[in-house]
Amino acid sequence: MPIKLYDLAGAEANRRFSPYCWRVRMALAHKQLEVETIPWYFTEKEAIAFSGQGKVPVIVDGERSVCDSWAIANYLDATYPNRPALFECSQARALALFVKHWDERVVTPIMFPLLALDVFHHLREKDQPYIKQTWEARSGKPLEDLSREQEDRLGQFRTSMTPLREALSSQSFLAGVQPNFADHIVFGRLQWARCISSLKLLEVDDPVYVWRERMLNLYDGLGSKAVGYPV
């Protein structure tokens, strides 16, 4: 029986753009586990109330449900030790946690204003008021204002990629010769943009772009086949 994944969807139900759900899609493919995704929308709190919280990703594996992408990755490695590991050793897991926080605390705040309006426009109409209200309360400004100074932001984003870019100058993946969950974390963030926005985030000669191509082609092209904007 495939693992079920509640996966954030846009107005088109097959537009799946959550960076956190992408982490899990990649992790499941990495571990060669079958998945059945269930489109989920921001306002459908009751659909995942069984998980004890109101956010995706949530997976259901037989009798068990697990939420939070980091917890899911650890659950998958613990539950399926004979499948390819998301973390080769405990130090790799600990260091991937650093990458996770770098992604969420450094990269995300730079990317969010670049993508916020695009995300908004791709939502179902019935989900838009909730998201507008939530994001405006969080940022303290109108959604439209978030997208100003796009050019500066884009430069900041590309600068923020420096440690990744440098690491990729001497290895194919963040985790070395093969990807691990740290790669999936950062790829998920870029896939967020690719699935929701026509913004050209990376120059084609950027090692980060080249690495993303590599990631897009993994697992029978899982990432590259996603509904989005192939820029």
The contact set with a second copy (CB under 8 A) reads 87-99, 101-102, 104-106, 162-164, 166-167, 170-171, 173-177, 180, 182
Residue pair 223/184 in contact (Cβ under 8 Å)? The answer is no
Nearest approach in angstroms of CB 216 to a second copy is: 20
Q: Shortest CA distance to 85 belongs to which of 30, 137, 124, 4?
A: 30
| Gap between the Cα atoms of 116 and 128, Å rounded | 12
Q: Which is nearer to a second copy, 71 or 231 (CB)?
A: 71
% helix / strand / coil in the chain, to the nearest 5? 55, 10, 35
Q: Which is nearer to a second copy, 133 or 159 (CB)?
A: 159
Report which residue type is found at 164. Answer: L
Nearest approach in angstroms of CB 20 to a second copy is: 16
Q: Which is nearer to a second copy, 16 or 31 (CB)?
A: 31
Nearest approach in angstroms of CB 119 to a second copy is: 24
Report which residue type is found at 11. Answer: A
**Cβ neighbours of 186 (radius 10 Å):** 24
Nearest approach in angstroms of CB 98 to a second copy is: 4
User: DSSP characters for 67-92?
Assistant: ESHHHHHHHHHHH-TTSPPS-SSHHH
Grouping H, G, I as helix, E, B as strand and the rest as coil, residue 63 is: coil
Q: Which is nearer to a second copy, 143 or 168 (CB)?
A: 168
Nearest approach in angstroms of CB 39 to a second copy is: 31
Strands 64-67 and 58-61: antiparallel
| Gap between the Cα atoms of 20 and 140, Å rounded | 24
Q: Which is nearer to a second copy, 105 or 138 (CB)?
A: 105
Q: Which is nearer to a second copy, 51 or 160 (CB)?
A: 160
Nearest approach in angstroms of CB 15 to a second copy is: 30
